[in-house]
Structure 1
Amino acid sequence: MPPRHHAIATDIRHQITNGHIKPGERLPSETALANRYRVSTVTLRRALAVLQGEGLVEKIHGKGNFARRPLRKIVYIGGWGTLDPWTAAEAALRVTVRSTTVQAHGHLTALLKVPTGSPLAELRCVTYAGDSPHGLARIYTPRDLAPVGVLDDESSRREAARRFGLLGLPPAAVQETACARPPTPDEASTLRTHSSAPVLAITRVATDSTGRVVEAALLVFPGDKVDAVFTTHHVTDERQTQP
């Protein structure tokens, strides 16, 4: 049998998603809910914490807990990664972008295979559906490979952010590693998610025909706000098709 607070969270979630509790509506007090479900306030708060982590309930200090509109998902298209706005449940996507030059250190030196201290172009992009953050992307490329103007021109930065890439020459190979994990404190703050709610983390490394790493992207999405789609293309050996 699942823990009692999960059963309570399931019941309240159902009331929100089926419209019985409207978006923006204040939930009964925690004491009233605890009495309704015949549990302690500690157990009730655990249930609410689950819903807060999912983004279905927002706690406003001094006012109470409020239902939020059920989340709409966006779709990440694997390969040379981008967002697919047509499958984003008609969510109005917008992106904020911050660009700068940083020095390679720690895991960046390993990802990009460059010496410590090497200059890197960095784009930090946050994707929103309405006012809700749906994704964080940190994109890096060796500074000498960054396309002209991408760090300075607003339209170039936004196009790069939309594709989660700096829009250089098409890479010869792209490797993506995906995992589910808890967010870092910075990611939880940026994505406004609970520290215990899992995120989908994708590390994408692009290389040219010589094997040089031309770009690395660190992508993080709240696990309940995104679907990732990867398509495999099977290559047929022409020799096997010849008569």
Structure 2
Amino acid sequence: MTGAVPSRRHDIADDLRQQITTGRIKPGERLPSESGLAGQYKVSTVTLRSALAVLQREGLVEKIHGKGNFVRRPLRKIMYVGGWGTLDPWTAAEAALRVTVRSTTLQANGHLMTLLKVPIGSPLVEFTCISHEGDSPHGLARIYIPRDLAPAGVLDDAAPGRDAVRRFATLGPPPAAVRETVCARPPTPDEASCLRIGSAAAVLAITRVATDSTGRVVEAGLLVFPGDRVDAVFTTHQAIDEGQTQ
């Protein structure tokens, strides 16, 4: 009997998947209630939710708290440009993509102390940025800078530096060096909640550390993108010996 539930779960997922991919259920359309679908397929709500979880992990269905399950609209990918530390100018300028920013001050401890190479308790400014296309989150960034390096008025919503934050870009003058560490991993519970993705989905995580000519860390960024919603581009420029060009 134990093998019947997984099989039924996949049967339901297969049927709903076919309806979505053939257009019988349109992008953005709300699915019937979970209790209604459970009655339609003659299964328990536990089995029905397990079937929906399969489609959520595949990115076909999105569950919005308090509203229900919706067929996910095809998402346009955004591009992260490595080295520049920003979303590409075309993506960042598009009206369809908006970035909400929340800022706060805090004291460095634990991981942040190590990341920014500052003593425990050092004052920092934290920017939490979430990019959206419509109702769908595209990316999450937490950007940290030492409080004494924060541009004047940077905590003000109208400050010029806010434009850089909205592009996930570095805030201050161009740094002497930017080190980016990239990995693919499952999201943390907080990231999964912010980005509205399943815990089994893969995210692209970028840790960006910018330093000045003295080696001081002037900014650190922790960026997370759902793996199916971003392309990351890194370009290497080879130094040319001027003597060889004569």
Pairwise TM-score range, normalised by the shorter structure: 0.7 to 0.9
CA change 1:87–1:157 in 2 (3 A) is closer
Give the deviation of 1:114 after TM superposition: 0.7
Tell me the residue number matched to 1:29.
Answer: 37
Matched, 1:187 2:191: yes
RMSD across aligned C-alpha pairs, in angstroms? 3.1
Q: Residue 160 of structure 2: SS of its match in structure 1?
A: helix
Tell me the residue number matched to 1:79.
Answer: 83
Matched, 1:67 2:71: yes
Give the deviation of 1:53 after TM superposition: 3.0
Give the deviation of 1:240 after TM superposition: 3.1
Matches within 5 A, 1:1-243: 12-13=16-17, 15-17=19-21, 19-23=23-27, 24-26=29-31, 29-30=37-38, 32=40, 45-59=49-63, 65-84=69-88, 86=90, 92-242=96-246
Q: How many residues are aligned here? A: 235
Q: Is the 8 A contact 1:95 1:162 kept in 2?
A: yes
Counterpart residue type for residue 96 of structure 1? T
**1:66-103: CA deviation from partner (whole Å, max 9, x where unpaired):** 32222222111111221136358x67011111111111
Alpha-carbon separation, structure 1, partners of 2:53 and 2:241: 54
| TM-score, length basis structure 1 | 0.81
**1:203-242: CA deviation from partner (whole Å, max 9, x where unpaired):** 0001111111111000011112211111121221223334
Give the deviation of 1:173 after TM superposition: 0.7
Q: Is the 8 A contact 2:161 2:171 kept in 1?
A: no
* Higher mean C-alpha deviation, range 208-217 or range 24-33: 24-33
CA change 1:174–1:149 in 2 (3 A) is same
Unaligned 5+ segments in structure 1 are none
Q: Is the 8 A contact 2:175 2:211 kept in 1?
A: yes
| TM-score, length basis structure 2 | 0.80
Unaligned 5+ segments in structure 2 are 1-5
Alpha-carbon separation, structure 2, partners of 1:8 and 1:240: 66
Alpha-carbon separation, structure 1, partners of 2:22 and 2:54: 18
* Higher mean C-alpha deviation, range 135-144 or range 69-78: 69-78
CA change 1:148–1:235 in 2 (3 A) is same
* Higher mean C-alpha deviation, range 3-12 or range 202-211: 3-12
